Chains A and B, each alone.
Chain A
């Protein structure tokens, strides 16, 4: 049990649509990040949020955006979905003071058709 929960577990969207994925992390985990994991690949860092502001982004276009809320929940929004966006989306957080140690939620499987 990592204390990181995600929803929904699975969803199917049509190309061009928008999707919102949700994550809830533990109290005290004030940094949250999102990763994309395509089939057969390792997770790729999308961005991280600290105290409700984005403070780091990987190599992902602006149509990937996020929000972090005071209650340790966060969202990943993806606009103008493309077929290549089909992947497992992982939310991760870690205890303050643990360096770079992070724990993942169960993930949201997104299929774009």
Chain B
């Protein structure tokens, strides 16, 4: 059974710092990797997707993928109090395209001003 593991946190960083969120996955054949942000009481919001080894940058967010180590991370630069949320890591459940993802339990990030 495929699994996605995340440290539940909370991860606390001061405003302006870099927040580093980590995720490991069990299936070496996984191909698609996603980071979602979820504010308390709201639904998950897609912030990053990554498919190839290396880094992918989008504004203050950088996703990093290392398939050999089965590890994906999310860096948030210049963290803001508005970044305080739960961050969910997800990977594709099956090889074919579709809407089935496996999620970790999420890491709670707290950014203090």
Are A and B interaction partners?
yes
Binding site for B on A (CB under 8 A): 31-33, 40-45, 48, 50, 55-56, 58, 88, 90, 92-94, 97-107
Q: Nearest Cβ in chain A — how far from B41, in angstroms?
A: 9
Q: How many A-B residue pairs have CB under 8 A?
A: 75
A105 neighbours in B (Cβ, 8 Å):
43
Q: Taking the complex as formed, is B59 at the interface, i.e. its CB lies under 8 A from any CB of chain A?
A: no
**A35 CA / B42 CA spacing, docked (Å):** 14
Binds A, one of B10-18, B67-75, B86-94: B86-94
- 8 Å CB contact of A100 from B43, B45, B99, B106: B99
Q: Complex formed: what's the CA distance from A93 to B45 in Å?
A: 13
User: In the complex, are the beta carbons of B101 and A90 less than 8 A apart?
Assistant: no
Q: Which residues of B contact A103 (CB under 8 A)?
A: 46
| A100-B32, A101-B34, A101-B49 known; A45 vs B44 contact (CB < 8 Å) | no
